[in-house]
Structure 1
């Protein structure tokens, strides 16, 4: 077993929420919408398909043929808009297994991705993609098994519904919680349970408390949380590293610098998500594979 196949890594390709926000004011943290990848042993897992997926796809072209598993939290624009521009999906010989929950209107993730690429929205249909695409409907609350990797899932508090994921492998755990709104008087039990003792918790921290509760322009009911609530959850769940994620498109680099400093003062394991960030997850290597 190679050293690489014993590794569990997380890489960030898009960390911005709602709408892409490129430009000189967002250079250091990035302007692409949500997409992260995990290399879990020999398996490639991808979460969400915002515009960051296009950047990931370009980086993978030198590694073909490719096989991967793509998991969707939900299908709001900022989480699917990179899918039609995922170059590896257009290349024969590649294979992608695609997972998502059935939406409240009964549509599957395959139907929603297909509709996104129909005229007049896009020039070519999904069927032009030559890779082998396999679609799976998942039920939040039920685990998903990919060889020795176990993914746990849970409902999030978001308009139109969304799901969170926990990836478990060889004693390491990463939680991906994006597009969720905290409750005013208690911690979300679904997230608390999903995140308990995780090595890394990636959490929707779109707003500050001041923005969320603003008297003139509150964000209550918009489906997103704050970095202060992220810190509360990280402490309650005993996570080691909190990644503040899904940055608001109006938050420039200097604003995010300040959030990062304030969050670090509240929780020593807090870091800011930025494009290109790579995190290693500690795992236990079986004795039979350690030589």
Structure 2
């Protein structure tokens, strides 16, 4: 349906979108419609001035804002009618009893313009199919021939004013192409507000999912930190045990050296007298070694029976 021209809503420029969607092109801008509205205002002012510029009616008229446009971008039916008159097109009120008495089947018409609470939109036949070209929709909405009469009746029931577009519409690519092929629509377009809400929900869900992943990552980092601390503690314990074993090995070596020195000293006692100070130092060294061995074995075997300790002593 890309071939169908469909202007989406901007501000309150629904009259511009309605006309361009009807004519299937960028035929009118806000500046051009404003110019038509000012011309209509001037024509109305001149008619009111015929009754006298000093009259209360005239002074009231000139003090009132324009009835053909406002600052929001709204344009009246008179502006739309004058804009279409340039293309030789005329608007007839579909709701009027006069037109209803003609008993014309809606599918035999070419286009309709609808208005409700200052919102204008177009329903037009392109090729052999009808489309709702409402600027508030995300895209053209296909309307079957059987549903067209019900669709218009529903608009009437909801308070819409419906106008039949009479005259030859300008040629357009969509009309030429859809004369040869027909469109199949599997999914109806949503209102722009609904589509925006759906996109916002998707964005929010994505952000929440990313936030969850960040939290999971933080939890994993905390767990890794705990594991690292435990590994460091075990490593420090292992280093302490290795240091104690090294101390024990050094103590045993010193003990053996001390024993050898004592043997050598005893053998040489007859030839070289030993001073009391030297014996005291050797005796203290052996006592320290014995205490170190007991402390190490006590750590390795904390539940050793007392009779074993007595035997070692």
Task: Please report the TM-score for the alignment, with normalisation by the length of structure 1.
Answer: 0.25
Q: Which has the higher strand share?
A: 1
Which of 1 and 2 has higher RCO (CA within 8 Å, sep 6+)?
1
Between structure 1 and structure 2, the one with the greater Rg is: 2
